[in-house]
């Protein structure tokens, strides 16, 4: 990972500390542990180490924990927001990311505690406030989920 003296556009990896400087999500709604292979304006790979301690496993499902599909899509979106944050140099800015659409979403394999979820996101359109990404979630090279999603980053409203 690059250190704080480097230009944010030069980051190719974001650890948890940098992720928290870009997106506002926190426990229990932060679904990525790091982002690697960041290429500004193009994409990156989020990493989520799935553990049995995730709060959603208490109810989904107690005897056979499965990561909810919506949290997998959210993890792809959080990965994309980090890529946008690095690309647009909006580290340490009061920004929020809003979903605008999710298309062609499919779930292929269950994600369970012990899995290392890789969230491959690629920009299909972006550069300004509105971005469209294609995402694929993989475990051990196997496709678990895929989706296209559109989101907007905007300054956090005072209030």
- pTM attached to this predicted model: 0.92
pLDDT surpassing 50 at residue 5: no
In the prediction, which pLDDT does 9 show?
Answer: 62
Q: What CA–CA distance (Å, rounded) separates 132 from 113?
A: 30
Q: Are 76 and 117 in contact (CB under 8 A)?
A: no
pLDDT surpassing 60 at residue 7: no
Q: Are 68 and 128 in contact (CB under 8 A)?
A: no
Q: Which residue has the tokens 């926190």?
A: 26
Q: Which of 2-6, 65-69, 107-111, 131-135 has the lowest mean pLDDT?
A: 2-6
- Mean pLDDT score, 131-146: 98
* Domain spanning 8-155, CATH class: alpha beta
- In degrees and rounded to multiples of 5, residue 24 shows phi and psi of -85, -5
pLDDT surpassing 60 at residue 107: yes
Q: Give the residue extent of every domain in the chain.
A: 8-155
Short-list 23, 25, 18, CA closest to 1: 18
Just list the catalytic residues: 60
In the prediction, which pLDDT does 3 show?
Answer: 39
Residue 18 binned pLDDT confidence (cut-offs 50, 70, 90): very high
pLDDT digits (tens, 9 = 90+) for 35-78: 999 999 999 999 999 999 999 999 999 899 999 999 999 999 99
Q: Quote the Cα angle for 77-82-88, to 5°.
A: 120
């Amino acid at each position: 990972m690059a250190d704080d003296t480097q230009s944010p556009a030069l980051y190719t990896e974001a650890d948890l500390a940098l992720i928290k400087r870009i997106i506002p999500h926190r426990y229990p709604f932060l679904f990525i542990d790091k982002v690697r292979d960041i290429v500004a304006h193009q994409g990156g790979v989020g990493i989520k180490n799935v553990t049995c301690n995730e709060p959603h496993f208490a109810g989904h499902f107690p005897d056979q924990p499965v990561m909810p599909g919506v949290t997998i899509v959210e993890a792809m979106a959080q990965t994309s927001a980090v890529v946008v944050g690095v690309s647009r140099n909006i580290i340490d800015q009061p920004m929020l990311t809003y979903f605008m659409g999710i298309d062609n979403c499919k779930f292929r394999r269950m994600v369970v505690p012990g899995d290392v979820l890789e969230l491959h996101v690629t920009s299909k359109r972006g550069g300004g406030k509105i971005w469209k990404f294609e995402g694929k979630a993989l475990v051990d090279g196997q496709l678990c989920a895929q989706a296209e999603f559109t989101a907007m980053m905007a300054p956090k409203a005072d209030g």
